[in-house]
Amino acid sequence: MLSTQSLPLIKATLPLVGERMPEIAKNFYGRMLTAHPDLFDGLFSRSNQKNGSQQQALAGSIAVFATYLVQNPDTTPEAMLSRIAHKHISLSIAPEQYDIVYKYLFEAIAEELSDVITAQIAGAWTEVYWLMAHALIKMEKGLYAGLASDKPLAPWVVVKKEAAGTDAVTFTLEPADDTPVTPALPGQYVSVTATMPDGIRQVRQYSLSAGTATTRVFTTKLDADGEVSPVLHRDVQVGDTLILSVPCGDITLDQGTGPLILASAGIGCTPSASILRSLVDTGSKREVLVLHAESNLERWALRDQMSEDIALLEAAELELWLEIPSEGHHEGFMSLENVTIPTDASVYLCGPLPFMRSLRSQALESGVPADRIHYEIFGPDLWLAGV
């Protein structure tokens, strides 16, 4: 709950802070990572720091949280906080790290707002920060308590590496030690830590595309401009060990019996594949409409797995959109214009942000309630999605 003293100060300064937050975030990361370069090893992404997207993510999260408090001073944005908390669990974030962030963030705020900052304004924004931090710490404590082990990160050995489509690879892993395994839910992701050529560990999140109680399966598309996927594609081989987090993400398959629409684009098909596989494993009779968009048929990374699972389900259908035409499929970008959506359907989206924005808007226009539209956002744009 935002105090009555801080509310008018936050409301008055929010436009200015929002305007300057990108520079505040850049200043903050510069200070913190200069003082703690070790945070690059297994936590912060060097690629996202170089392109500025990590700074945008921080700016977006704080601005969204503060705006929400101004509009709803007695509550907090639970959905946003839940997504951040799951991301933090996948990175093994500890409560004491919030103190480090506070120190350097507010040094940056003091410098970037030196022309207007007062003790009262600083106090109000300090309150916003700790409201957000304490809410996250509480959520994360609950998530940690639900794990099968007190170790959110553990070594897993690669037992299979297979090409998937024209530019993706699927990895199957098994536990490398006796750390208890936390079960994965359909639609969740894991953080994967890989060692770069210079010895620094870098982390990326990948949706699980299949797996059992004792295996993890994820599929990664090659990103030539990234650091992690080239190492995974080029250097990681069967028998190698990777560090994986426990499964995270709160966008998981609901346990109801109503119709499902799984809409994906590109490598966003991975959570759809996981959900389909779980439906097959449980003998589900739910009505399922799988919608997928791809540049061409050969590039569809999980084409065989998803097609086989759709065929095994009693009430599943597929509609495919291809930029390069192929007989029997839609041409161009995905559209819900001629798609019949059952009134009680749950819609799951995964893919690039523009794709999810467009599909969510179309689903809303088709009459699907907002609380039945689920989506997972990866990457540094996490809180700038506006969806």
Residue from 223, 265, 216 nearest 241 by CA: 216
Predicted confidence at residue 245, as pLDDT, reads 97
Q: Which residues contact 95 (CB under 8 A, 6 or more apart)?
A: 137, 140, 141
pLDDT tens, position by position, 352-386: 989 999 999 999 999 999 999 998 775 444 433 33
Q: Which of the residues are catalytic?
A: 98, 140
How confident is the prediction for the chain on average, in pLDDT? 91
Q: How far is CA 139 from CA 19, 70, 127, 167, 347, in A?
A: 29, 22, 18, 37, 26
Predicted confidence at residue 317, as pLDDT, reads 96
In 10 A of CB 71, how many CB atoms? 10
Find the mean pLDDT for residues 211-239: 94
Q: Determine contact, residues 35/41, Cβ cutoff 8 Å.
A: no
**Residue 51 confidence class, pLDDT cut points 50, 70, 90:** low
Predicted confidence at residue 52, as pLDDT, reads 65
Query: What are the φ and ψ backbone dihedral angles of 224, each rounded to 5 degrees?
Result: -60, -25
Predicted confidence at residue 60, as pLDDT, reads 75
**Residue 55 confidence class, pLDDT cut points 50, 70, 90:** low
Predicted confidence at residue 174, as pLDDT, reads 98
pLDDT higher than threshold 80 for residue 58: no
Chain-centre distance for alpha carbon 129: 22
Find the mean pLDDT for residues 101-119: 93
Q: Determine contact, residues 269/304, Cβ cutoff 8 Å.
A: no
Tokens of 38: 């070790």
Residue 241: strand pairing partners: 157
pLDDT higher than threshold 90 for residue 95: yes
pLDDT higher than threshold 80 for residue 75: yes
DSSP state of 184: P
3-state helix, strand, coil in the chain (%, to 5): 45, 20, 35
Question: Which segments of the chain are extended strands (E)?
Answer: 153-164, 168-175, 189-195, 201-210, 216-221, 241-245, 260-265, 288-294, 316-322, 330-331, 346-350, 373-375
Tokens of 314: 């009693």
In the three-class reduction of DSSP (H, G, I as helix; E, B as strand; rest coil), residue 27 is classed as helix
Higher pLDDT, 347 or 48: 347
370-377 contacts at long range (C-beta below 8 A, 24 or more positions apart): 372/345, 372/346, 372/347, 373/347, 373/349, 374/251, 374/346, 374/347, 374/348, 374/349, 375/251, 375/348, 375/349, 375/350, 376/187, 376/189, 376/207, 376/249, 376/251, 376/271, 376/350, 377/83, 377/353
Find the mean pLDDT for residues 59-72: 86
